[in-house]
Amino acid sequence: MNRRKKINQILKANAKKASAKLAPKNKPKYICKADRLKMAAESSSDLTAAAPE
């Protein structure tokens, strides 16, 4: 691989990373399994507390 091709490859890779960083994030933030279980337990306890009957 000649020097010019290698430099262009590196510059394209850096430009691709920069544009990816600026792109909007569509994925929701990852929540670990323990936190998901904790949130589920809290929501179920809220439901039971809200409906005492």
4-51 tens-digit pLDDT: 999 999 999 999 999 998 888 788 889 999 999 999 998 888 767 655
How far is the C-alpha of 41 from the C-alpha of 52, rounded, in Å? Answer: 17
pTM, two decimal places: 0.45
Among positive and negative, which fits the CA dihedral 6, 12, 14, 17? Answer: negative
- The secondary structure of residue 27, as a DSSP letter, is S
pLDDT at 23: 85
Type of residue found at 2 = N
Amino acid at 23: A
